[in-house]
Structure 1
C-alpha cells in the first residue's frame, strides 16, 4: 500500500465517516478535511475536527503506520507542532506533543469501503507491462476522459511554457529571438534538435535580422555556424557559401566552437541538416517580423501559408554538398508544419498570451483539434488499447498521461485511476 492511497481516501472521504472513534475510544467528527499540502510539512492544512466535546483546528498528518512519525523524525520538527490528528492505516504506537500529551489517532482501515480497497489492489497489483489500467481504460466515459485529456493538454503546455520563459530571459525578452531558437530546435527534430539549438545560440539574433534581405547570406550563416562548410568540397555553390561565411564571420565576430556536430546517420534525406537549414533560411528570407505574423495567425491554414517554403535551387538536385541527386523540389511538408504547430507555435502562443494577461485557451484547443495526431510508439500503443487520438490535442494529452502519470504510478492523481477506484 502507498501513502498516496491514504491521502486519496482522506481527501475524497472514501471511508465510513459516521461513528468515527480515535484509537483511545473518543468520538470523532470531521468538520473540514483541510487542504492537501504537496510540499514539505503536514499532509493537510487547516482541518477542523471535533474530538469528544472539543473542536480542534489545525493540521492532519497521514502515515501507513503510527511509528512512521518517528521514522520521519516529526517529533523534532517544528512544522508538526500543530498536528491535531494522526491518520494511519495501522496503529502500532502512540505519538506525543511536546507537552507529552498524546496526539489523537484515527486508524483508517476500520472504516474504508471494501470496494475502494479492492479496486486499489486490482489497479496496483496489475500484471500489465505498459500501464496499470490497460484493461479498463477504454471503459471510462467519454465525458470524463475527454475533460481529463483537455486538462492534461494544458498541463503539458504549462511545462513547455516554463522552458520558453527560460529562453525568453536568456534572449533579453526578445520574442523574435525566442521563436528563432524554438524553430531551430524543432527543425532539427529529435536527432539534431540540440545541435540546431546550439547553432541558434551561437550568435545574436540581430545577425539574422541584418541578413534577411539575402537568402544566400542566411544559408551561409546557418551552414557555416553548423560546421557544414568545413570540409574540402570542390563545388561552386559550396565554395560561394564558404566565401560568404568567411566574410560574415569576420564582420560579426562569429564563433562556432561550442556548436554540436550535425548528424546525418539514420535520417531520411528530406530531414538532412542541409535541407532543414536551407528551408529555415528561406523562411526568414521571406518573412520579416515572423513572430508577429505567427501570433496573428487564426487558423491552421494561415500557418501553412507562412511555412510553405522550399530550399534554395541548389538543393533541388542535392541532399549533401557535391553529390548530385534526382531533381525534387523540397518544400516543407504539411506533416512537418503540423509538428511545428504542436511543438513550437501553440506553446509560443500560449506563453505569450499568458505574459500579456490574455486567455486564448479555447482558440488553442480549436487550433490543435484541427491538426492530425502525432504518430509514435506511445500513441500507437494507446490505439491498440482502443484509446484513439483523433487530433494533436489528444495525442499531446496522451503523451502527458503516459509520461507524467502512468510511468510514475500516479494513478491516484489521474481521473482514470480515480474513476476506476470509485466504480
Structure 2
C-alpha cells in the first residue's frame, strides 16, 4: 500500500461514501472532496464536509496510519491547523490539534472494495516491461484513444516549455528560436545538443546578415563548430577559413561552449557537414521561413518547403578534401517527417499559445498524416495491441512510457485507472 493510492481513492471517491463515520462514530457527508495539492502542506485544500451535522470547510490530510501525523511532525506545522479530517487506511492513534481538540479521523479500509485493492496491488507489483503489459490489450479503444491524444498534447506542452525558454533567451525573437530548433533537430540524436550549442553561440542578427551569401554562412557555421581546423590545400577550404577569420573578428565571436560535433557511427548523409550545408541552403532559399511555417497546414506543403539539398562543394563531398560521387543530397521525406514532429509542430503550438489561439485540430491533422516512428519502445507497444500507424500514436506512446510507465505513475494514467477499477 502506498499513500499515493489513498490520494487516488479520495480524489476519485473510489469508496462507499453512503454511510461514512469517523473513528468515534460521527457521521460524515462529503460535499466537496477538495483540490489535490501536489506541493507542501495538506493533501487536499478547500474541502467541504458535514461532520455530525456541522458543516466544515478546510483541508484534508491523508496518511497510511493515523500515527504518521506525528511521524511527519504535522503537530508543529501551522499549515496543518486547518485540517478538518484526517483520512487514513489504518487508525492506530487519536490525533489532536495544538489546542488539544480531537481531529476527526476517517479509516478508509472498511469502505473500499477488495477488488480495487487487488487490482491495484496486481498492477504495481508487476515485473513486466510495463506494469499493465498483460492487460494492456484489454483496455477499451475509447479510453485508450482519448488518453493517447491527451498524452500527445502533454508531450507538445513539454516541448513548448523548452521553446519558451529559448524564446526568453532570444528576447522574444521567434526567427532566432526557429533557427536554433532546426539546427538541433538537423543534428538528430547524436548531434542535437552540439548543434543547439552552435546555434546559441551566434546571435541571430548575424545570421540575417550572412544568410544570402552561402560561403559566408558556411564559413560562419563550420568555423564556430570547429570544423575548419583541418589540413587542406583546397581553395574552398582556404576561402572558408579566411572568411571565418574575418567574420569572427567583425562580430567578436567566440565558440567557447560549443560542443564538438560527432561523425562516429553516423551514416554519411547524416554527417554534420552535410546537415549544416543543408541548413545554409534552406536559409539562403527561404527569406521568411518562420512566417511560412506558421502559415502552412499540410504535410505535402512542408515537403515542398524543405525540398533542399547541399551547396555545390558538398554535392561531391561528405567531409573536407575527400571526394565522393556527386549528388544533390536532398532532405528525404523521412527526415522531413522528423523535422515536422520535433520542430514544426512544437513551434506552431508554442506560437499559437503565445497568441491565445487554439490550433489543436490543425496539429492533429498534420501529425496523424505522418508515418509512425520506428523505435524499440513503439515496436513493443504495437506488439501488445493494434494501433493506427501514425506519428501521433508513436509520440503519445513515447510520452506514456517515459512519463508514466517508467515512473510507476499508474494512478495518474487513464489506462491504469481503467484496469484498477475494473470488476
TM-score of the pair, normalised by structure 1:
0.97
Structure 1 match to 2:34: 34
2:239 counterpart residue number: 240
Q: 1:119–1:420: 8 Å Cα contact kept in structure 2?
A: yes
Deviates more, 1:227-236 or 1:271-280: 227-236
Q: Which residue of 1 aligns with 2:226?
A: 227
SS in 2 for 1:98: coil
Give the equivalent residue in structure 2 for 1:111.
Answer: 111
Task: Determine whether 1:197 maps to 2:196.
Answer: yes
**2: CA distance, partners of 1:33 / 1:277:** 56
Q: Distance in 2 between matches of 1:31 and 1:40?
A: 24
Q: What is the alpha-carbon distance in structure 1 between the residues aligned to residue 46 and residue 247 of structure 2?
A: 64
Structure 2 alignment gaps of length 5 or more? none
Residue 99 of structure 2 corresponds to: 99
Give per-residue Cα distances to partners, 1:15-61, cap 9 Å, x unaligned.
11122221112222222212222222111112222222322221111
Q: Alpha-carbon deviation of 1:389?
A: 5.5
Contact 1:379-1:389 at 8 Å conserved across structures: no
Residue aligned with 2:86, SS: strand
Matched, 1:82 2:110: no
Partner of 2:174: 175
Preserved contact between residue 65 and residue 91 of structure 1 (Cα < 8 Å) = yes
CA distance in 1, matches of 2:341, 2:7: 35
| Cα RMSD for the two superposed structures | 1.2
| Alignment match, 2:371 | 372
Distance in 1, matches of 2:120 and 2:282, equals 53
The residue number in structure 2 matching 1:50 is 50
Q: Deviations over 1:144-181 (max 9, x none)?
A: 11110111111111111111111111101111001001
Corresponding residue SS for 1:154? helix
Q: Which residue in the other structure is 1:260 paired with?
A: 259
Name the residue aligned to 1:279. 278
Please tell me whether residue 71 in structure 1 is matched to residue 88 in structure 2: no
Is residue 2:9 matched to residue 1:9?
yes
| 1:356 CA displacement | 0.7
The structural deviation recorded for 1:387 is 4.9
Q: Is the 8 A contact 1:383 1:389 kept in 2?
A: no
Greater mean alpha carbon deviation, residues 361-370 or residues 327-336:
327-336
Does residue 122 (structure 1) correspond to residue 122 (structure 2)? The answer is yes
Deviations 1:55-74 (A, max 9, x none): 22211111111111112111
CA distance in 2 between partners of 1:56 and 1:244 (Å): 75
Contact 1:95 1:102 in 2 (8 A): yes
Counterpart secondary structure, 1:163: helix
Aligned residue in 2 for 1:346: 345
- 2:57, 2:260 → 1: CA distance? 61
Moved more, 3-12 or 321-330: 321-330
Decide whether the 8 Å contact of 1:389 with 1:395 is kept in 2.
no
C-alpha deviation, 1:212, in angstroms: 2.0
Contact 1:317 1:326 in 2 (8 A): yes
Q: CA deviation at 1:250?
A: 2.4
**What is the TM-score normalised by the length of structure 2?**
0.97
Structure 2 Cα separation of the partners of residues 201 and 46 of structure 1: 46
- Greater CA deviation, 149-158 or 237-246? 237-246
Residues in 2 aligned to 1:227 and 1:422: alpha-carbon distance in whole angstroms = 58
- Counterpart position of 2:330: 331
Partner of 1:24: 24
Aligned mates of 1:217, 1:372 — CA distance in 2: 37
Whole-angstrom CA distance in 2 between matches of 1:87 and 1:330: 65
CA positional deviation for 1:195: 1.0
Question: Any gaps of 5 or more consecutive residues in structure 1?
Answer: none
Residue aligning to 2:62: 62
Following superposition, the deviation at residue 235 of structure 1 comes to 2.1
1:176 & 1:26 partners in 2: Cα distance?
64
